[in-house]
Amino acid sequence: MSRRPVIAGNWKMNLSADDAIALAAAVRDRCGRFRDVDVVIAPQGMMLWPIARRLEGSPVGLAAQNCHWADKGAYTGEFSPVQLKETGCTHVIIGHSERRQYFGETDEGVGKKARALHDHGLIPILCVGESLQQRESGQTIAVVSSQVAAGVAELSDDELAETIIAYEPVWAIGTGLTASPEQAQDVHLEIRNLLSRLANEATAQRVRIQYGGSVKPSNVRELMSQADIDGALVGGASLTIDSFAQLVAHREDFDK
């Protein structure tokens, strides 16, 4: 089954407001014209509103880097799905390993966020992945399967089909290390097989599964050539327009 690839840039806690707005405009102008790939950018929360205005009329999607599952309440420092939708977001990243590691996010909490996002018409980008210790001890599939199952536990088949799953081995995030295309494909296939068991084969074949972890123009084409890799969740290489445009084009020599 042919699935439309999706390339998402996670800017994390980088860029000044001016630089972020300028980069968003450049992504709109240089990447929004591609019709065979979905493009999403995820700036810091404080920049969502002005960047949403820059993206109006563009096919480029806007993602928040996190959310709370409640519509409102006494949750200092959080954004609700309702507020993110009003701001102009189309997607929200949930369960990123940095959120799990530094801010104590749990599989159960990620599942509640996925449920809340679908309730408000937002697409979750659900991140899963194992640490180096877990990989070396042979726990990769068990860890990833547990994260996926908890993250989608409250979703219907149609909601699951619209959810984007991002496999990001923790040991490859920001380290310069990258899972080989074959290693990544093996885990992506296991995720798809799990989804088939949790829902059904037809639904599993509709789910887009991204790879993340030191994706760059020099390795994106080989990664994307794998049968079950449907795009990339990109960190550092999304912070400059030249490298991000190359990723969207799946061509290292694309610079126009």
Would you please indicate which residues are annotated as catalytic (active-site) residues?
96, 168
**Residues sharing a CB contact under 8 Å with residue 125, sequence separation 6 or more, in sequence order:** 8, 40, 63, 91, 92, 93, 94, 164, 165, 166, 210, 233
Amino acid, res. 13 = M
Q: Distance (Å, rounded) from C-alpha 91 to C-alpha 81? A: 10
CB contact burial 143-152 (16+ within 10 A = b; e otherwise): bbbebbbbbb
Structure tokens, 191 = 């995720």
Residue 122: CA atoms inside 13 Å, Cβ hemisphere, count? 33
Taking the chain, what is the end-to-end CA distance rounded to the nearest angstrom? 31
Indicate the angle between helix axes 107-119 and 140-151, nearest 10 degrees: 40
Phi/psi region, residue 213 (left: phi>0; alpha: psi -120 to 50; beta: rest), is left
Residue 55: CA atoms inside 13 Å, Cβ hemisphere, count? 27
